[in-house]
Amino acid sequence: MLEPNGTISDSDDANDTRQPVGFVKEVASWVKFLASVVVTFLVFTTFAFVVFFIPSESMQPGLQVGDRFVVAKWVYGWSRESLPVGLGRILPSSEGRVFFRAPKHGDVVVFANPKNGKVTIKRVIGLPGDTVETRGGRLYLNGEQVQRTFLGIVRYRDRFGTLRTAQSYSEKIGTDRKRSHRIFEFSDEHSAGNWSPDRAGPFLVKQGHVFVMGDNRDMSLDSRAPDGPGQIPMENLIGKAEMVLFTFAHCKPKDGLDCPPSRLWRLM
C-alpha cells in the first residue's frame, strides 16, 4: 500500500502477523476451558455424585425403566470402580477401598458386575456372615423370615408391551432400617428356566462381599441366579442410589392398568 509521501506502509504486514497469533490464543483459551471442564467433571463424578438411568425392570416398583437417578460416590469410600466411564478398568486390579464404610441392609447400590463389568443396580440383602435363602417365595435372612405386608395386585405393561400382573408388598430389611420399600412378586413358585428365584440357597455371604437382589423378585438376575453376578466384592461398589431426578418413561393409565406416579426429585 502506498502512503501519500510515496513510502510503503507495513500495516498490512502487521495485520497478517497479528491475526494468526490472535487465532492461536483463542484456540488455546478454548482448549484450557474445555480441559478445566473435563477435569472438573472427572473429579466431581469420581468423588461426589454421578447420574445413571434404569434400563430394565429388575428394581420395580421403586425404580422404573427410564428413571434417571443420582448415585453418591462417597458413601462407601472409593475404589478404582469410582472412576467414571470405566476408566478404572485400565488400572491394575486391586482390593479394598479408601475411607471404606460398609453398606447397610436395604441400601440400593450401584456396582460393577464382577463377571462382565457392566454397571448394575440392586438392593443389599446380605452382609458378610449373613445367610440368605428363599423358600416358597419368602425371603429368609439368617434363618428368620423377612416380614412383608401385602399391598395389592398391580397390572401393567412392561417395556415390551407384555401385560403383567404382580403382587405388591411392603418389606423391611434389617433391624436398623427406618423405612420400608416395595417389592413385586409374580408368584411364590415362579420358575426362570432351570432354576427358581423363589427356591434358592441358602447362601453364606463371604467376607468382603454383599449379597444383592432386585425388588422385582421374580424378574431379577441377581446374586441368587446361577448366571447372575454372584456375590459382589466391596471394591466393586460404585456408590449408593440416593434419589430419582426425573424419568423419560411414558405411561398412560388405561384399561384398568396401573401407572407409576411421578418420579421427579424423589428421595429413595
Query: From CA 97, how far away is CA 80, in angstroms rounded?
Result: 8
- Indicate the helix (H) or strand (E) that contains 46: helix 11-47
Q: Do 231 and 202 contact (CB within 8 A), yes or no? A: no
Identify each DSSP E strand in the chain by its residue range: 49-53, 67-72, 108-112, 119-126, 131-135, 138-141, 144-145, 148-157, 163-171, 181-185, 200-204, 209-213, 232-233, 237-247, 266-267
Active centre residues (catalytic)? 58, 122
CA distance linking residue 59 with residue 122, whole number of Å: 7
Cα separation of 65 and 158, whole Å?
9
Residue 194 in grid coordinates = 432351570
d(CA 227, CA 8): 83
- Cα angle: 138, vertex 142, 148; to 5 degrees: 35
Asked if 222 and 214 count as a contact pair (C-beta separation under 8 A), the reply is: yes
The CA-atom distances, in angstroms, between 215 and each of 36, 85, 136, 231 are 40, 26, 17, 17
